[in-house]
Amino acid sequence: MSIYRIAHLSDPHLPPPPGAFGWKDVFTKRLLSRIAWRKKRKVHRPEVLAALVADLKAAAPDHVVISGDLTNFASRTEISAARKWLESLGEPANFTVSPGNHDALAGAGGQERFAIWAPWLGDTGESQFPQVRVRGPVAIFNLCSAVPTAPHLATGRLGEDQLRKLDAALADPAYANLFRLVVLHHPPHEGAVSKRKALDDRHALHAVLERRGADLVLHGHAHEALLGALRGPNGATIPVLGVPSASARPNRHGPARWNAIEIEPRAHGGFDVRIVARGVEAGREGLAELGLFSLTEAVDQRG
């Protein structure tokens, strides 16, 4: 059986373009983010992101998942600039974007603020979630945990309506024999991030996944390489995988990395999944292979 390859990167934190921060923003949470960016810009480097994107393109994956935080202040100028960056990557149908908390940092509007990214969110041409895209043997369930929050908070929330629709989508028999991949920005498992950065309604998501199941959950937000697990139906284990920021030079969280997820259908049902991690190594130019592992074996050893 042929292998389907999905690349996962997250949290590129694109450099703010001119006009990304205006005088009216001093009265919003954007001011705090602007102050924080003075330090963060030393970590999030455009040359690192460019090297990672070049490495990813050379690998020619079948599909690319980007799990949020393309922007820093969520201004209209930034969101528009992020679209231009997405356009530079390739055809929108080959990329799926799940917005992050920085993409909804402040300002009016809900998910409609992402309408300009609609071609990268799903196949409906809308900015509503969840969206389901079928690519090869994979059904991608794209969620949005990005919501505006109070100062000093970076929490996420899916909401009852999105969770209800996810429950129905995961139960749809049309996806029963596909590899069901769930994508969101915030880590859904316990202990991945502090309470002020956590997914507020993660327990409701746990209940949906335990009832309906999934094959893999991808996330960003933590800026670390993380491997976790959630409970699926009948005691099954659902692996959860996160990556560091795609633009980060070596720092306390971990330098830039992307994961190649190789999904191979078995002849008699089910899938074998292998992860190939590629990223920045201190003292070495370019990106290198950091390791590879069987996802099932890694989760079994962890648990």
94-135 pLDDT tens trace:
999 999 999 987 666 678 889 999 999 999 999 999 999 999
Tell me the C-alpha distance between 254 and 224, whole Å: 6
* CA of residue 91 relative to chain centroid, distance: 18
Residue 33 · residue 72 · CB < 8 Å? yes
- Report the pLDDT value the prediction gives residue 35, as an integer from 0 to 100: 55
Bridge partner residues of 216 (DSSP): 181
Strands 287-294 and 271-280: antiparallel
- Report the pLDDT value the prediction gives residue 153, as an integer from 0 to 100: 83
Strands 226-231 and 237-242: antiparallel
Tell me the C-alpha distance between 252 and 246, whole Å: 15
> Residue 291: which domain range?
4-302
Residue whose token pair is 């024999």: 177
Task: Work out how many domains the chain is built from and give that number.
Answer: 1
Task: Compute the mean pLDDT over every residue in the chain, rounded to the nearest whole number.
Answer: 90
- Report the pLDDT value the prediction gives residue 108, as an integer from 0 to 100: 61
Residues of the chain below pLDDT 50: 23, 26-27
Whether a cis peptide bond, with omega within 30° of 0, leads into 130 is: yes
Question: Directed axis angle between helix 202-212 and helix 160-171, to 10°?
Answer: 10
Number of C-beta neighbours around residue 236 at 10 A: 13
Residue 61 · residue 90 · CB < 8 Å? no
- Report the pLDDT value the prediction gives residue 303, as an integer from 0 to 100: 54
Q: What angle do CA 184, 190, 196 make, to 5 degrees?
A: 75
- Report the pLDDT value the prediction gives residue 33, as an integer from 0 to 100: 64
Tell me the C-alpha distance between 181 and 266, whole Å: 17
Residue 41 · residue 73 · CB < 8 Å? no
- Report the pLDDT value the prediction gives residue 286, as an integer from 0 to 100: 79
- Report the pLDDT value the prediction gives residue 27, as an integer from 0 to 100: 43
Q: Is 1 helix (H, G, I), strand (E, B) or coil?
A: coil
Residue whose token pair is 């940092």: 105
- Report the pLDDT value the prediction gives residue 252, as an integer from 0 to 100: 77
252 secondary structure, DSSP code: S
Closest by CA position to 239, among listed 207, 274, 268, 276 = 274
Residues in the chain: 303
Closest by CA position to 48, among listed 258, 292, 290 = 258
**Interacting residues of 47 by C-beta distance below 8 A, sequence separation 6+:** none
CATH number reported for the structural domain that contains residue 145 in this entry: 3.60.21.10
